[in-house]
Structure 1
Amino acid sequence: MNQAIAAPFGEGADLISTTQFDRDSVERLFSLADSLRPLGRSEYACDVLGGAVLSSLFFEPSTRTRLSFEAAFSYLGGKVLTTTGFTFSSMAKGESIHDTARVISGYCDVMVMRHPDKGSVKELADASLVPVVNAGDGAGEHPTQALLDVYTLRRELANRNKAVEGSVVAIIGDLRYGRTVHSLIDLMRLYKGVRFRLYSPASLELPAEFFERSDAHRLTVCNSVGEALKGADVVYCTRVQRERITDEQVAASIEKSVLLNRDMVLEHNSKDLIIMHPLPRDSRPGSFDLSDDVDDLPGLSIFHQTDNGLMVRMAIFCTIFGLDAKALKASYTVPKWHSAKPISRPKLHGAVRQAQDW
């Protein structure tokens, strides 16, 4: 699942793969994300990207990822141009990715793209006049999801006086087509002593290439969810990517049951187990996904992930535009609505987020 990207991530660079990061660059990005938390909580307003334009190109269904990127750019003062789906794009008329890249990059300063084909975002970046960020390329990678996942895990473990180094991560669900899993494992290779306990339905196992690497000893394949949970600090659940499964026999063989529920967590681990999921989770009966009966467990972190994604994606844009924490802070102002006519504010997201320590 690795894509060979020569240029490390930094100012003016594309973000296509987790392989562009080393440990230092990850920590710099996370430090910048930390400094952006007051902005993400609406304590301040910022127009540091005033005049900059983002083109948001999503050729696969997306709600969270697309809105997270667009909100991140908007919080920094930028403007967003968006398109969703092949039906409403020139690709439906046969336009190539190369031509799409060349045309649209003439309208903006940075592009974010999701596409159903592995390698498609790299193809777009090669033809683009502006930096490109990979928001998911088929069954390939989802690097920004991996970044927000590790950022969240780092914070959740710190709250328990633990570190990412030496942690045990159970990963369960669709490990073959789940691009978030591929990027997460790649990124966490930068942390010493991390071990993975893996469980998936038959035919949805982690691709063989992961077991051919020098650090494959970190990976343990388990025969059940319960076995994977034993001794884990965190469990990372992924829904079955049914839209990518072309073999009807494989699709029919997927269990018509829950992937993980409250009883499993309490039987094989504890109520404090960190529970993560890239979302969306399929809450329909028999969907083989994370049950909503875990929602009141103290270790549930799935909504911390989505909240943290805003800060991480703001940090990504700031890095691309060469902005550091000092430059950002200098541009902060008090939002105009803070001084508006007094209203009941408990439901305003800024007030809620301030109170939640997320």
Structure 2
Amino acid sequence: MNTNDISFERKRPDVYGDAHPKALLRAIQEDGDYLLQLANQHIVAGDQLDQNTMKQLFRLAAKIESNPKRFSSPLQNKILISAFYEPSTRTRLSFESAWHRLGGDIMSITDRSTTGIAKGEALADVAEMFNNYGDCVVLRDNQQSSLYEMMDALRIPIINAGNGLDEHPTQALADLYAIFKWRPELLDASSGAQIKIGVIGVPNKMRTVRSLLKGLSVFAHAVSELVIIHDAASSAELFAPGQREQLSQRGIKVTTSTELNDCLPSLDVVYINAISWEGDTFHTYGDAFHLHAKSPLKADAIILHPLARGEELSTELDHTPHNWYFSQARGAVFLRMALLTCMVERAERVIDVV
């Protein structure tokens, strides 16, 4: 750190590795019909979209990321209600950045105590008011049921930005977008391309991991093996009832391990998370697991992390080709730009744009 140098390099790359989206863009043929269908859906779960819809969403995100200045006005005169009743940095700001970049306006709520909910107002009534105030809702709440209570009363789309321990579907979409930018050939089942993925975390406790595993199951052909790496203390609560069985039924080979360094040399993708929001606070899992410069990673392996990070992911790796977590976070903005455009009936404004 040089405290005497106050300059910065505006063109300095903020990601490492071959993170440019053009290869992904070329790998998928455009079919806008799948995107038009998103206008009639809430986004709730990591596996609710089929493979073709996800591919088209990734393609649109890649198109926007390749030339973002061409997509500055699709959401003019549209209003987003950004309701975050749980702490958030990347998710809230990336959604709001995405909406602003598309030309829309935002109403933001970051404190439940400043709303009628604090006075006992029913969430169904809040949702009814939202129908009159905006065109789309992004909700984060520490209660799993809040999302579903609002859905029944909404006539505008809502996106689950994290509901308790349950799910975080747009994080999973951003994770998959990063993986397919890295290896576009994984999208094509006939290519035979596969990767071995290690997930350091507790699927039963971490909504980011739960949604990622669901999303991966949609592309089961691309996964040779999924290794869940966890501490011994989490063994009894590693999977929710039926969670592992569902992955197996969809064609994913699932194994578990408590030895991180034994697994790392064979992993193509390492996904690490340590934090789980539970109720009004957070808990950490797997304190013994750390990735750093001396970790025995494959030479071409990439690391993903939903962030925020702690000691589990050393900054020593930030300036190495393993760092795809910054690209992952950056790409989330473009993925959400694509999704939001489609959900508020503006897909026709971006389809066929070169």
- Normalised by the length of structure 1, the TM-score is 0.78
Partner of 1:152: 178
2:254 to 219, 232, 242: 219
Moved more, 130-139 or 269-278: 269-278
Is 2:322 the counterpart of 1:299? Answer: yes
The 1:220–1:127 alpha-carbon spacing in structure 2 relative to 1, beyond 3 Å, is same
- The one-letter amino acid of 1:28's match is Q
When residues 121 and 228 of structure 1 are mapped into structure 2, their CA distance, relative to the original with a 3 A threshold, is farther
Quick check: 1:196 aligned with 2:229? Answer: no
Among 120, 127, 133, the alignment partner of 2:159 is 133
State the Cα deviation string for residues 67-115 of structure 1 (Å, max 9, x = none): 1111111111110000012222222222221111111221001110001
Report the counterpart of residue 339 of structure 2 in structure 1.
Answer: 316
Contact map agreement 1:118 1:140 (CA 8 A) in 2: yes
Contact 1:53 1:80 in 2 (8 A): yes
Q: Which residue of 1 aligns with 2:50?
A: 22
Equivalent residues of 1:238, 1:278 under 8 A apart? yes
Matched, 1:68 2:94: yes
**Residue pair 1:272, 1:297 contacting (<8 A) in 2 also:** no
Maintained 8 Å contact 1:34/1:311: yes
- Once residues 166 and 131 of structure 2 are traced to their aligned partners in structure 1, the CA distance between those partners, rounded to angstroms, is 23
In 1, the alpha carbon distance for the partners of 2:266 and 2:334 equals 30
Deviation of residue 167 (structure 1)? 1.3
CA distances 1:288-344 after superposition (whole Å, capped 9, x unpaired): x222222122121011011111111011112113334x6237999xxxxxxxxxxxx
Contact 2:61 2:337 in 1 (8 A): yes
- Extract structure 1 runs of 4+ deviating beyond 4 A: 159-165, 242-247, 254-258, 329-332
Instruction: State the partner residue of 1:327.
Output: 349
Question: Quick one: structure 1 residues 59 and 306, their matched pair in 2 at CA, closer, same or farther if it must change by over 3 Å?
Answer: same
Which of 117, 134, 137 does residue 143 from structure 2 map onto? 117
Q: Residue 242 and residue 140 in structure 1: after superposition, are their counterparts in 2 closer, same or farther (change >3 A)? A: closer
* Pairing 1:80–2:106 present: yes
Structure 1 equivalent of residue 313 of structure 2: 290
TM-score by length of 2: 0.79
The 1-side partners of 2:353 and 2:81 are apart by 23
Q: 1:161 to 1:131 in 2, by over 3 A?
A: closer
Partner of 1:353: none
In structure 1, the partner of 2:294 is 263
Tell me the amino acid that sits aligned with residue 184 of structure 1. Answer: L
Partner secondary structure for residue 54 of structure 1: strand
On the 8 A contact 2:303/2:325 being kept in 1, the answer is yes
> Is 1:55 aligned to residue 55 of structure 2?
no
- CA separation in 2, counterparts of 1:160 and 1:136? 27
Tell me the percent identity. Answer: 29
Partner of 1:348: none
SS in 2 for 1:307: helix
Would you say the 8 A contact 1:154–1:164 is kept in 2? no
Q: Deviations over 1:171-217 (max 9, x none)?
A: 00343321111111111112115121111222252324222222476
Structure 2: which amino acid aligns with 1:169? I
Distance 2:290 2:279 in 1: 19
The 2-side partners of 1:161 and 1:109 are apart by 32
Aligned partners of 2:42 and 2:112: how far apart in 1?
23
Name stretches of at least 5 consecutive residues in structure 2 with no aligned partner: 1-35
SS at match of 1:145: helix
Q: CA RMSD in A?
A: 2.9
Where does residue 4 of structure 2 map in the other structure? Answer: none
Higher alpha-carbon deviation: 203-212 or 160-169: 160-169
- Find the aligned partners of 2:165 and 2:37 in 1 and give their Cα distance: 22
Provide the secondary structure at the position in 1 that maps to 2:38.
coil
Q: Where in structure 1 are there 5+ consecutive unaligned residues? A: 1-7, 284-288, 333-358
Closer/same/farther in 2, CA of residues 166 and 190 from structure 1, 3 Å limit: same
- Distance in 2, matches of 1:78 and 1:15, equals 20
In structure 2, the CA distance between the partners of 1:156 and 1:255, relative to structure 1 (3 Å rule), is closer
- 2:113 is equivalent to residue 90 of structure 1: no
Q: CA deviation at 1:48?
A: 1.9
